[in-house]
Amino acid sequence: MNDFASSSLFDDIAAQCLDDVLAGRRTVAQCLRAHPEQATDLRPLLMAALLTARMPTPPPMREAAVDALEARLRATMTAPKSLPKPAPRRAPTYAFAFSRMAAMLALGLLLAFGSTGLVSASDRAVPGDALYGLKRLWEAIVLALSPLSGPHDALWIQIAHNRLYEIDVLDEQGRLDEQVLTDLHRALYELAQVRTPQNEADVLLLLQQADSLLAQVTPQPEAQKVYDTLSALTQQSVDTGMPALPASEYPLLAESPLMQVTYAPPTPTASATFTATASPTASATPSATPSPTATLSPTPQPSASPTPSRTPPPTPSATPSPTATLTPTATWTALPLPGTVLLTSAAPTLPPGVLPGATATAPPANSDNPRERETQQAVYLTQTVGAPATPAP
């Protein structure tokens, strides 16, 4: 085969000839005469295509098997679903009641906002599109309102599917970058937190589809590492038939397409203060009181790159004190949506406890419980991004 046979021009010629020959508009000989310089390379392609097209169609699936499968599927759909045992009810705390009220209020406002069609129009947005910020904002809101908006695990499965769609489109456009793959990793990590025997089949199917898609895409060079991480997980899932999900979050990117966060690693001092600056201007000085969990292990990384992390920055002592305060500094850059600070679900880079624009002390956002984290985001969203959703008086 000569070099020409691997060129896109040859692909075009071959595609046209294949279409014509298979449709009966031209014979193989006519195509070869029309392209004498490519005839040597074209001939085997056209012959192989013709042979394949002329092969006998296998007998269809037996009608009895089709009927039986339909009956099984119908039975599955109509069978009563076994519901998980409800968790014992706890007396609501004031904070919980407040966040639930805020969520209900936000839901009402956002239903009106969503009904404008903007939200549904953003469904197909991909990074770089004008409506992509809205799409991600909507995801964060829907998550924050769970279970009102749906089961938490189902929402994360849907979000992971959204990321797969975006990966697919970005790959077609030749700009499959690190961000969207990191976002998928984050969605899978969140799924790992809400994994149950009931959702295992759905998660496995998601991972199988991810595996199929990842095998067909070509990431940009800088995205290779996270691509390899994801591919290893999805392939393991396919190989074992068991969902393999990330055990930890992938290091978040310093630059998100929606939000730039500069993060100053904390100096190893015992006390610290947050300073968050939102655009246009907003600052807050809340303090976070992390619980003494393993994520507070004293491994200061002052030389680390400015990668924002959801886990609180390290404290200086080997035994983290429950009263320790933290001192990261974050600068928030507003998103293209006017008056809105978008929080990407993939870049949940709100430093613990910081709610730009909020004057009240925020609850610590470093909870191990993903639902609590989302509730904290809901409060944040209703205080900040809720503004554009409010109808004009």
Partner 1 sequence: MAHDWIGRVDRKDEQRLIAQAVRGDSDAFAALYRAHVQAIYRYIVHRVSDAQMAEDFTADVFTRALKSMSTYQDQGKPFLAWLYRIAHARVVDYYRRRGRRPDEAELDAQPIAVTDDVEGELLRGQAASALRTALSSLTDEQQQVIILRFIEGLNLEETAVSMGKNANAIKALQHRALRALASRLERSGFDLENILSGLS
Q: What is the contact surface with partner 1 in residues (CB under 8 A)? A: 1, 5, 8, 10-12, 14-15, 18-19, 22, 41, 44-45, 47-62, 65-66, 69-70, 72-74, 76-78, 123-124, 154, 157-158, 161-162, 165, 168, 172, 201-202, 205-206, 208-209, 211-213, 215-216, 238-239, 241
In terms of CB distance, is 33 or 298 closer to partner 1? 33
Tell me how far CA of residue 151 lies from CA of 155, 199, 368, in angstroms: 6, 11, 18
Task: Find the shortest distance in angstroms from Cβ 249 to partner 1.
Answer: 23
The Cα 7–Cα 74 span in angstroms is 50
Contacts of 263 (CB under 8 A, 6+ apart): 254, 306, 307, 308, 309, 328, 329, 330, 349, 351
In terms of CB distance, is 222 or 239 closer to partner 1? 239
The Cα 96–Cα 366 span in angstroms is 16
Task: Find the shortest distance in angstroms from Cβ 131 to partner 1.
Answer: 15
Task: Find the shortest distance in angstroms from Cβ 116 to partner 1.
Answer: 20
Maximum Cα–Cα distance across the chain? 84
Task: Find the shortest distance in angstroms from Cβ 197 to partner 1.
Answer: 13
Could you check whether the bond before residue 280 is cis, i.e. omega within 30 degrees of 0? yes
**What is the DSSP pairing of strand 329-332 with strand 275-278?**
parallel
CB-side neighbour CA atoms (13 Å) of 263 = 29
In terms of CB distance, is 228 or 368 closer to partner 1? 228
Token readout for 8 is 């896109």
CB-side neighbour CA atoms (13 Å) of 82 = 4
In terms of CB distance, is 120 or 285 closer to partner 1? 120
In terms of CB distance, is 66 or 95 closer to partner 1? 66
Task: Find the shortest distance in angstroms from Cβ 157 to partner 1.
Answer: 5
Task: Find the shortest distance in angstroms from Cβ 6 to partner 1.
Answer: 8
In terms of CB distance, is 146 or 309 closer to partner 1? 146
